[in-house]
Structure 1
Amino acid sequence: MTMTANEDKSYCNWMSQLPPELHDIPLFKLAIPGSHDSMSYDLDINSSIMEPDRLKKLSKIYCARKIVQKWAITQEETITKQLDAGVRYFDLRIARKAHDPDPTRLYFHHGLYTKTDVETVLEEVNDWAGGHPKEILILALSHFHGFDKNIAEHLHRHLISFIMTLFGAKLIHTKETPSLKSCWGKGRNVIVSYDHSTQHSNEIWSKIPYYYGDSMDTSEVESKLRHILEKASPVQSFSVCGLNLTLPESARVLLYILRPFDHLVGVIRRSLPRLLRWVEQQSAKTPMNIVASDVVTRNGFVSTVIKLNNPNA
Structure 2
Amino acid sequence: MSATRGKKRRAVTSYCDWMSQLPPELHNIPLFNLAIPGSHDSMSYDLDINSHIIEPDILRRFSKIYCARKIVRRWALTQEETITKQLDAGVRYFDLRIARKRNETDPTRLYFYHGLCTHTDVETVLRVVHDWAERHPKEILILALSHFKGFDKKDEQRLHNHLINFIKTLFGPKLFPRGETPTLKKCWDQGRNVIVSYDWQAKRPLEIWTEIIYYYGNSIDPTKVESNLRQQLEKERPSRHFFVCGLNLTLPRDAKILKYILRLCDNFPNVIRRSLPRLLRWVKEQAGRTPMNIVASDLATRGDFISTVVELNISKRA
In the TM superposition, what is the alpha-carbon distance from 1:233 to its structure 2 partner? 5.6
Provide, for residues 151-170 of structure 1, a one-character-per-residue CA deviation record: whole Å limited to 9, x for no partner. Answer: 00000000000000000000
The AA in structure 1 aligned to 2:141 is: L
* Amino-acid identity (%): 69
- Taking a change above 3 Å as real, the CA distance of residues 115 and 9 of structure 1, as seen in their structure-2 partners, is farther
| 1:230-257 deviation digits (Å, cap 9, x = unpaired) | 1136621100000000000011000000
Q: Tell me, in whole angstroms, the C-alpha distance in 1 between the residues paired with 2:267 and 2:250.
A: 13
What are the within-5 Å matches in structure 2 for residues 1-313 of structure 1?
A: 10-232=14-236, 235-311=239-315
Corresponding letter in the other structure for 2:307: S
Whether the aligned pair in 2 keeps the contact of 1:9 and 1:85 (CA below 8 Å) is: no
Number of positions where the alignment pairs a residue of Structure 1 with one of Structure 2? 306
TM-score of the two chains, using structure 1 as the length reference? 0.96
Alpha-carbon deviation of 1:53? 1.1
Q: Over residues 88-111 of structure 1, what are the superposed CA-to-partner deviations in whole Å (9 max), with x where a residue is unaligned?
A: 000000001122110100000000
User: In the superposition, relative to structure 1, how do residues 38 and 233 fare at CA in structure 2: closer, same or farther (>3 Å)?
Assistant: closer
What SS class does the counterpart of residue 64 from structure 1 fall into?
Answer: helix
Q: Distance in 1 between matches of 2:229 and 2:276?
A: 15
Deviations 1:191-230 (CA, angstroms, capped at 9, x unpaired): 0000001220110000000000000000000000011111
Query: How far apart are the structure 2 equivalents of 1:244 and 1:74?
Result: 9
Looking at structure 1, the residues matched to 32 and 102 of structure 2 have their Cα atoms a distance apart, in angstroms, of: 38
TM-score normalised by structure 2 residue count: 0.95
* Counterpart residue number, 1:5: none
For the 8 Å contact 2:237–2:243, the answer to whether it is kept is no
How far the C-alpha of 1:10 sits from its partner, in A, is 1.8
Paired residue type of 1:163: I
Unpaired runs of 5+ in structure 1? Answer: 1-7
> Can you list the C-alpha shifts for 1:10-56, whole angstroms capped at 9, x where unaligned?
20000000000000000000000000000000000111111111111
Consecutive unaligned residues of structure 2, counting only runs of 5 or more, are 1-11
Secondary structure, counterpart of 1:58 in structure 2: coil
| Equivalent-residue separation in structure 1 for 2:143 and 2:13 (angstroms) | 21
What is the root-mean-square deviation in Å for CA atoms of aligned residues? Answer: 1.2
Paired residue secondary structure (1:192): strand
Contact 1:9 1:84 in 2 (8 A): no
Preserved CA contact (<8 Å) 1:137 1:189: yes
CA offsets, 1:34-93, max 9 Å, x none? Answer: 000000000001111111111111111111110000000000000000000000000000
2:58–2:254 contact (8 Å) kept in structure 1: no
